[in-house]
Amino acid sequence: MVGTLVMYIVKFFCNTVKRTNARPKRLIQKNHAELKNHGIFKLQFQIRSYSEVINTADSKQKSVLTSKKISESAVYENIYKVFPNDLNSYGTVFGGMVMSELDRIASVVAERHSGHTCVTASVDAMHFLGPAGQGDILLFYASVNRSWHTSMEIGAKVLADNFKTGEHRHIISAYFTFVALDENKKPTDVPQITLETPIEKRRHTEAGERRELRRKEKEDRHLSRQTYGL
């Protein structure tokens, strides 16, 4: 009698456990179907889509933020007073000294714009338009004309100021190409520039034309080496 009662209790307990274990599974299946029917999965897909749109917008915003005004990095009227030790045998300013000073100032502009250490890649069209003498004050100007992927063209010019007469003479123009380097001394991306004035737009266009000329000259030199071994 006791044995029969014990067996009955055990059987009842096992059936109860089975029903309890089966109930959540049926509920989960039911809830899963309801969620699907109510478009929850569609909502999740839309949320993912909206996230992709937001990420794309953030990327575009970062791209816009990396564009800089030319005035942010430009150098205006950096002053150099000419002394006797700056003169050549003809009594005019030694051209090499002015070139060295221009390179330093242009590098400041390039590093301000890029936020990286920059090296001079080339100097294009250094034009000496007139002399400067003892007592003259040299005024250096430099700004970004155009930026590409890792390089920038910096336009520079020098005016000679005669403090006695107040005369200003444009004596030198030059165009420097700088490349920005990262911590591993590898070329790295540089910001684009925001063009605000007609002069900036003209300089931007002319910088592109000069670049194409440099590329053509490079191709011609390569062809000459292959043809004539020069």
Is residue 76 in some structural domain?
A: yes
pLDDT digits (tens, 9 = 90+) for 38-74: 554 454 545 454 445 445 444 444 444 479 999 999 9
Is residue 183 in some structural domain?
A: yes
Is residue 1 in some structural domain?
A: no
Task: Report the domain count for the chain.
Answer: 1
**Could you tell me the CATH number of the domain that includes residue 150?**
3.10.129.10
Is residue 145 in some structural domain?
A: yes
Rounded (10°) CA dihedral 151, 153, 154, 158: 150
| pLDDT at residue 7, as a whole number | 55
Number of residues assigned to the chain: 230
pLDDT digits (tens, 9 = 90+) for 129-181: 999 999 899 999 999 999 999 999 999 999 999 988 889 999 999 999 999 99
Q: At a CB cut-off of 8 Å and minimum separation 6, what does 132 contact?
A: 82, 92, 93, 138, 160, 169, 171
- Tell me if 138 sits within 8 A of 161, measured CB to CB: yes
What is the separation of C-alpha 136 from the centre of its chain, rounded to a whole number of angstroms?
Answer: 38
Q: Which helix (H) or strand (E) holds 136?
A: none
Is residue 60 in some structural domain?
A: no
Residue whose entry in the numeric block shows the structure tokens 């999965």: 41
**DSSP secondary structure code for residue 184 in this structure:** T
| pLDDT at residue 109, as a whole number | 98
Domain hosting 86: range is: 70-194
Q: At a CB cut-off of 8 Å and minimum separation 6, what does 99 contact?
A: 123, 126, 174
Is residue 42 in some structural domain?
A: no
| pLDDT at residue 15, as a whole number | 58
| pLDDT at residue 204, as a whole number | 97
Q: pTM higher than 0.75, yes or no?
A: no
Query: Between 1 and 142, whose confidence is greater?
Result: 142
Classify residue 102 as exposed, middle or buried by CB count within 10 Å of its CB (0-12, 13-18, 19+): buried
Query: Between 27 and 104, whose confidence is greater?
Result: 104
**DSSP secondary structure code for residue 115 in this structure:** S
pLDDT digits (tens, 9 = 90+) for 70-125: 999 999 999 999 999 999 999 999 999 999 999 999 999 999 999 999 999 999 88
Is residue 51 in some structural domain?
A: no
Q: Is 127 helix (H, G, I), strand (E, B) or coil?
A: strand
| pLDDT at residue 52, as a whole number | 55
30: pLDDT strictly greater than 70: no
Rounded to whole angstroms, the Cα distance separating 86 from 213 reads: 34
Rounded to whole angstroms, the Cα distance separating 102 from 96 reads: 10
Is residue 31 in some structural domain?
A: no
Partnered with residue 20 across adjacent β-strands are none
